[in-house]
Amino acid sequence: MVQVLDPIDGTRGFLKGSEALYVVGLALLIDGEIALGVMGCPNWQEDISENRGTEDQEDKAGQPGPGIIMVAHVGCGTWTKILANTPGSIAGGYIGWARCFVNSCLLVHEARFCIPESITWESLPLSGFFSSTTCTDGTGNREVLLLPTCCGSLCKYLMVASGRASVFIQRSRAQTIIKAWDHAVGVICVLEAGGQVTDWKGNQLDLAADQVERRIIFPPGGVLVTNGNLHNKILGMLTSNSSIA
């Protein structure tokens, strides 16, 4: 049994205080398989189970929010709850646990994408098929919506698991080490919400690949997180327009 802890995912957001989001995540692995995961985002502005747009978060930047917590257990689904009472909430300020699911998007050009802040859309193989926009007014058949999200990987998993985003894609780079704790809790939250997580070859992430310290993962190409409906379509685009090592 192994516990995988990320005390601060999104360090730059943490250093900004209430101006940006960060996540604390913990996963429990039994025999190399993720059995339980919990992550909290202290500054989140609203109940994520309501599945509203990300513009609400952006408009309230700089204001400390009540925060949310997301929990997933194998076979039990993914659940969220706001961390603090807020004026005007249900029943005098309390909202209980709500089960969350990935969204049902079926078409890639209608999907909402998240990517790391350290890369550009043009650096991804999908840019050969679609351009990107951050404008929420509508996209064309050859354009996808790129959501503005916070620092760190776990918030993007949270976005996919809750249905706010359809896809999170991360590319492996020679100068970047992909840590197990940046993904472990996010993986189970997305899977239990009905989504899918693999490397760019379609294989499950091997969290035990680092036989010495169990800290590093080595996903060929990178990491692909989706609502499940889009997974094989995007994998096909990745493999047809890139050389995956």
If one compares 104 and 17, the residue with the highest pLDDT of the two is: 104
pTM for the structure as a whole: 0.84
**What are the tens digits of pLDDT across the range 118-137?**
889 999 999 999 999 988 77
Q: Helix or strand or coil: residue 164?
A: coil
- Residue ranges of alpha helices (H) inside the chain are 11-15, 55-59, 90-93, 154-161, 184-192, 231-240
% of the chain residues with pLDDT over 90: 44
If one compares 152 and 31, the residue with the highest pLDDT of the two is: 31
Name all domains of the chain by residue range, CATH numbers in brackets: 2-100 (3.30.540.10), 108-240 (3.40.190.80)
* Cβ pair 180, 168 in contact under 8 A: no
Look over the chain and give the mean of its residue pLDDT values, rounded to a whole number. Answer: 81
56 annotated ligand binder: no
Q: In 10 A of CB 173, how many CB atoms?
A: 13
- d(Cα 53, Cα 18) in Å, to the nearest integer? 20
If one compares 207 and 144, the residue with the highest pLDDT of the two is: 144
Backbone dihedral region for residue 77 (phi beyond 0: left; psi -120 to 50: alpha; all else: beta): left
Residue 73's DSSP bridge partners are 36, 77
**What are the tens digits of pLDDT across the range 34-60?**
999 999 988 777 644 444 444 444 444
* Cβ pair 145, 134 in contact under 8 A: yes
pLDDT given for residue 124 in this prediction: 92
9 annotated ligand binder: yes
69 annotated ligand binder: no
pLDDT given for residue 209 in this prediction: 65
pLDDT given for residue 17 in this prediction: 65
Residues 6+ apart with CB under 8 A from 36: 27, 28, 71, 72, 73, 74, 188
- d(Cα 139, Cα 97) in Å, to the nearest integer? 34
pLDDT given for residue 105 in this prediction: 96
- d(Cα 195, Cα 12) in Å, to the nearest integer? 28
pLDDT given for residue 42 in this prediction: 84
Residues 6+ apart with CB under 8 A from 131: 121, 142, 143, 144
| DSSP letter for each residue of 169-204 | EEE--TT-PPBGGGTHHHHHHHHHTT-EEEETTSPP
- The model's confidence at residue 219, banded by pLDDT at 50, 70 and 90, is confident
Average pLDDT over residues 87-108: 75
Average pLDDT over residues 72-89: 80
